[in-house]
Structure 1
Amino acid sequence: MNKKMGIIGIASALLLVLAGCGDKPSAAPANEGGIASPAIVSGAEGNVEASQQPMDSAVPDITEQPTAGNESPSAEPSPSVAPAEDKQSQTIDVYYTDSQMMDLKPAKADIAYKNDTEKYTEAFKALQKSDNTDLISLWGKMELKSLKFENGQIVMDIHKPAEAQLGAGGESFALSALTKTLFQFQEVQSIELLVDGEQVESLMGHADLLHPMTRENSQ
């Protein structure tokens, strides 16, 4: 009887041992100072989830500054635009006739120009118009085809339409108005006036047209 009870006790002990070996721990053992949270893995072993990584490694550094000698192309200065050439301005005397065409009358006019050729062209344009109703332009209906200046001489080529025709007194005043206006520029020594590219004996058929007109023969 005692022997039978001993066998039963041994068998019971073996069952208890086997039952204890089948249990698995449900949590990692506690470390000193608290319980450690288990690491969460995803994919390959040891690959820690991104939310557990340090913040410094998760955000790329975009504040890097260019080093000397390696500036960004956008930092290069834009090429400067050359300023337009400035014009000179001058107030000149321009000659007209009175409403009765009895005499020549001077008036002031402002012109702007970049070079000598443009200066004399603008002076002739001023001779063609008057802002004063009491002063009449004698060249208003003439057409300037070309003008050039070389070696102290102005060479003008004009076209004279039929409506630009004047009487003897008007033609004389017109030539005097032209020479007085252009000879006020000290560098101008002579004026060669052409009609449609040709030298003509008379501008309007009443007075001789000299080739060229000079300061001496235009007095």
Structure 2
Amino acid sequence: MFNKKLGLICMASALLMVIAGCGSKPAAAPANEGGIVTPAVVSGAEGNTEASAQPSASAIPDPSSQPTTGNTDTTAEPSPGSTPPEEKQSKSIDVYYTDPQMMDLKPAQATIAYKDDIEKYTEAFKALQNSNNADLISLWGKIELKSLKFENGQIVMDIHKPAEAQLGAGGEAFALSALTKTLFQFPEVQSIELLVDGEQVESLMGHADLLHPMTRDNSQ
């Protein structure tokens, strides 16, 4: 009888130990959707988790890849050192032609536009080549201006004179006078060097001497 009671006591004690051991097991962490259990490791500081519990760097959005918002000024600025285009000046000048019978020189008004001295003299010569009046005949209309330079008060002109531009003695004299009167109205011009195909020639059309250079004094 005593042995039977002792056996019951031992069985009850063993059962209590089993129950106590089951109650002390840690609960398993819930599994992720992929089936992998990731334990949350807690450091000694309150509520601070280790790097394994932080989001990965690839999950943090890159600010440079995000679309910009707000107003963006797309106005094109002029590049440093650039200069605006130079505006042309206008000037009314006297241009000299002859009458249909080539008896005299006739002045007429013309307006030229230019941005520098070279263009001013070039435009003056172009005006000398053209007349919109049937009573005013250009003496330079068939002559080609190849180049024009200006330095130290002197205009250097290089022209080409085709055969059809040939004039008589009176026409040659009027042509040279028309050229000098037109260009010497600019105060800064002191002399004119006239070349034919790059060469100094004794006469423009074979009738009158061509001076090198023509000046205000010797062209009167």
The within-5 A match list for 1:1-219 is 74-75=72-73, 77-80=75-78, 83-219=84-220
Identity among equivalent pairs (%) = 80
Give the alignment's Cα RMSD to 1 decimal. Answer: 2.1
| SS of residue in 1 equivalent to 2:72 | helix
TM-score by length of 1: 0.66
Instruction: List runs of 5+ in structure 1 lacking aligned partners.
Output: 1-43, 45-69
Question: Whole-Å Cα distance in 2 between the matches of residues 201 and 71 of structure 1?
Answer: 78
5+ residue gaps, structure 2, are 1-32, 34-67
Equivalent-residue separation in structure 2 for 1:72 and 1:78 (angstroms): 18
Structure 2 CA distance for partners of 1:76 and 1:208, relative to 1, 3 Å: same
Partner Cα separation in structure 2 for residue 76 and residue 133 of structure 1 = 56
TM-score by length of 2: 0.65
Q: Distance in 1 between matches of 2:69 and 2:134?
A: 67
Amino acid at match of 1:109: A
Report how many aligned residue pairs link the two structures.
Answer: 152
1:106-126 residue CA offsets vs partner (Å, 9 max, x unmatched): 000000001000000000000
**Displacement of 1:85 after TM fit?**
1.4
The answer for the alignment partner of 1:35 in structure 2 is: none
Give the residue type in structure 2 aligned to 1:205.
G
Q: Distance in 1 between matches of 2:134 and 2:73?
A: 61
- Give, in whole Å, the separation in 2 of the partners of 1:157 and 1:76: 50
In 2, Cα distance between the equivalents of 1:174 and 1:150?
A: 24
